Structure 1
Amino acid sequence: MTSEPTALSNLLNRGATNTSTASETTVERILDAAVAEAAAVGLDRVRMEDVVRRSNLGRTTVYRRFPSRDDLVRALVARETQRFLDAVAAGMHGVERPSDRVVEAFLAAVAFARSHPMLRRIAETSPGSVLELANNPDSEFLGTGTAFIARHLHGERPGRPSREARWVADVFARLFLTYLALPPSDPDVRNETELRTFARAVLIPMAERVAPIKPPST
C-alpha cells in the first residue's frame, strides 16, 4: 500500500511536470507564431504585438515568456538553428561512407532551407537579412553551425577539431549562407542531381583534407 507522504509527493511531482509541459507548449506556440509572422513580413519586421495576435494568447502570457523583441528573436533563431542541425544530422544518419555523409548533409541543409517558411522568404525577398542574422552576436547562428560541422569533420578522434578542420567548417557554413541568400543558377538548388554533382566535385575534396569524417559519439 502506498504511504500518504509518497502519494502526495507523486501527485506534486506530476503537477510540476504538467506545469512544465504546459509552459513549454506555450513557448512553442509563441515561437511558431513568430515563425509565421517572420515568413509573412520578414524577420527584421516582426513585432511583439503581431506575434501576440498570431499566437491567440494573452499579451501578458507572451511578455512573461519573452519580455522584449530581442528575447523573442534570440529564442526563435536558437530553436530554428537546432531544428536545422537536427535535419542535417538526420540526413547523415545511417550513411556509412564519409564522402556520402558530406553529400547528404549538404542536400539536407538545402532541403531544410527551401522548405522552411522563414528562410524561404529571406531567400526570396530580403537576402541581406541572412548576413544580419549571421553577424548577430546574440544569435550565434554562424558559430553554432560552424562548430557542428567541425565536430563531424573531426570525427571520433580525441581532442578538439584541428585549425584546418575549423577553417573548412567555416567555409561550409558561409557557403550555405551564401546559397541561402543568393541561390546560384548553376547548380540549380531545386535539382537534387545537380546538387549531388556539385557536392561531390567541390565539397568532398575539401572535407577529405581533414578526414576521417565520422559523426561524434553521443
Structure 2
Amino acid sequence: MLAFGVDRVTLAEIARRADVSRPTIYRRFPDTDSILAALLTQRITEALDDVPRRGVGRKPLVRRIIGLAQRVRDDDVVMSVLHQAPGLAMFYLSERLGTSQQLLLDTVAAEIAAAQGEGSVRPGEPRELAAMTMLITQSTILSAQVVAPILPAERLATELAHALNGYLAP
C-alpha cells in the first residue's frame, strides 16, 4: 500500500507479497476494502495499546487521547488510507462506526465514567461524552495537515488538550 498507493492495492498483489494464494486471501476477506479496514483496526488498536492509561481523571484521560491522536497522525498506513481512500475513510467517518471506533468509544467511556466518579469530568452519559470526544479528536486528526502552517504539531496538541479539557470539565 505504501509502495503503490491505496488505490492500486489488489488482492493478487497482497497474496503475492504475503506468499499465499489468492483463494487463501478470499477465504478471510471479500475485497480489498475489508483488508484495509482490518489493517486500520489493527493499527489503531496497536496505537491505543502503545498509549496506556496513566491514572484516573480528566487530565490523564486527555493526555492519553492527545498521545493517541499523535500516534495515529504519525502512522503512515492510517494516514495513507485516510488521504488516499477517501471513500473508505468517509464510510467509517460518516456512515458507520468501525471496530476500532467502537473500541475507542468503549475505552474512553470507561475512563470518563471513572473520572466522573472522582469528580474531574462533568456529569453526563459517559458514552455520549466519549462520542463527542471522539468527534473532536477525529476532526483534529483529519484536519491537522490543513492547519499545520497555523498550528504546528505541538501547538495542535496543546489546543486539542484545551478543547477536550474544556468540554469535559465539571
TM-score, normalised with respect to structure 2: 0.71
Question: 2: distance between equivalents of 1:130 and 1:180?
Answer: 13
* Letter of the structure 1 residue corresponding to residue 30 of structure 2: S
Q: Structure 2: where are the runs of 5+ without partners?
A: 118-122
Structure number with higher relative contact order (C-alpha < 8 Å, ≥ 6 residues apart): 2
Partner of 1:98: 57
* Letter of the structure 1 residue corresponding to residue 169 of structure 2: E
Is 1:151 paired with 2:114? Answer: no
In the superposition, relative to structure 1, how do residues 148 and 198 fare at CA in structure 2: closer, same or farther (>3 Å)? same
Using the TM superposition, give the Cα deviation of residue 123 of structure 1 relative to its aligned residue in structure 2, in angstroms.
5.2
Q: How many residues align?
A: 160
Partner of 1:197: 158
TM alignment of 1:1-218, pairs within 5 A:
37=1, 40-42=4-6, 46-64=9-27, 66-69=28-31, 71-88=34-51, 90=52, 92-93=53-54, 96=55, 98-122=57-81, 124-125=83-84, 129-135=88-94, 137=96, 139-155=98-114, 163-183=124-144, 184-185=147-148, 186-188=150-152, 190-191=153-154, 194-209=155-170
Question: 1: distance between equivalents of 2:98 and 2:160?
Answer: 28
Using the TM superposition, give the Cα deviation of residue 174 of structure 1 relative to its aligned residue in structure 2, in angstroms.
1.2
Question: 2: distance between equivalents of 1:39 and 1:170?
Answer: 34
TM-score, normalised with respect to structure 1: 0.58
Deviations for 1:153-210, whole angstroms, at most 9, x for unmatched residues?
A: 00185xxxx753222211111122212222134432x22xx2453244221132233x
Root-mean-square deviation over aligned CA pairs: 3.1
* Letter of the structure 2 residue corresponding to residue 198 of structure 1: E
* Letter of the structure 1 residue corresponding to residue 79 of structure 2: R
Residue 182 of structure 1 aligns to a residue in which SS?
helix
Paired-residue identity, %: 17
- Is the radius of gyration larger for structure 1 or structure 2? 1
For the 8 Å contact 1:150–1:165, the answer to whether it is kept is: yes
For the 8 Å contact 2:45–2:100, the answer to whether it is kept is: no
Question: 2: distance between equivalents of 1:124 and 1:68?
Answer: 23
Hey, which bits of structure 1, 4+ residues long, moved more than 6 A?
A: none
